[in-house]
Amino acid sequence: MSWLARVHVVLKPVVNDPQGLAIFGGLQSLGFRGVQQVRAGKYFEITLDADNAEEALQRVEDMCRKLLANPVIEDYRLDIDEAQQQIADAV
Amino acid sequence: MSWLARVHVVLKPVVNDPQGLAIFGGLQSLGFRGVQQVRAGKYFEITLDADNAEEALQRVEDMCRKLLANPVIEDYRLDIDEAQQQIADAV
């Protein structure tokens, strides 16, 4: 069975975010007023096979710890859904 | 009033995603089996002032078109919520 994991990786709130600050500056230059803060993060969509949602969740959490996120400075959160169609079918 | 916009910017499905492919390769090397596809995108959290949710939404859509996303190769989606606390209060 095929699952779609949506993973958000964001810097911990106490960590400085130069990319967010650069975007903030860019928005100011473009004339956008009233922006208080911009935080930049990463977003991944991972399609994977697993017997059930529990197993898919555990596997993707493992991926986050080992590759996708740096636990020292980043937090991650993820949700799992049934994939709408098998990617393999489309190939 | 203060609003939190969560913005997802992802490559259009037909666009090649070298970052996603690199992560896919990394997961294979680490021994993760059953991964079908990885797509990498960006995620922004923008806190801004606006009179109402409509206005906040319009303003952030404008930011997406002008700065955050490249409409030729990227899609974006966003949702708006009331910000839990004014960033300015914490400063």
Per-residue pLDDT reduced to its tens digit, A23-70: 999 999 999 999 999 999 999 999 999 999 999 999 999 999 999 999
Residue A87: per-residue pLDDT: 52
Using the beta-carbon criterion (under 8 Å), do A63 and B32 form an inter-chain contact? yes
Residue A90: per-residue pLDDT: 46
Considering only CB atoms, A30 lies closest to which of B8, B66, B88, namely: B66
Q: Which two tokens stand for residue A67?
A: 């590759």
Residue B21 to residue B25: CA distance in whole angstroms:
6
ipTM of the complex: 0.87
Nearest CA in chain B to A55: B34
pTM score of the predicted model:
0.88
Residue A2: per-residue pLDDT: 94
- pLDDT tens readout for residues B25-65: 999 999 999 999 999 999 999 999 999 999 999 999 999 99
Q: How large is the greatest C-alpha to C-alpha distance in chain B, in angstroms?
A: 51
Residue B84 has pLDDT above 50, yes or no: yes
- CATH number for the domain whose boundaries are B2-90: 3.30.1280.10
Work out the pLDDT band at B90, boundaries 50, 70, 90.
very low
Residues in CB range of A36: below 8 A, 6 or more apart: B2, B47, B48, B49, B86, B87, B88
> Mutating which of A6, A21, A48 best tests the B interface, going by the most B Cβ atoms within 10 A?
A48
Using the beta-carbon criterion (under 8 Å), do A48 and B35 form an inter-chain contact? yes
Average pLDDT, chain B: 92
Identify residues of B whose CB sits under 8 angstroms from chain A CBs. 2, 8-10, 20, 23, 26-27, 30, 32, 34-50, 59, 62-63, 66-68, 86-88
In chain B, what residues touch A40 (CB-CB under 8 Å)? 42-44
Size of interface A-B (CB pairs under 8 A): 104
Where do the domains of chain B lie? 2-90
Residue A89 has pLDDT above 70, yes or no: no
Positions of E strands within chain A: 2-11, 35-49, 74-82
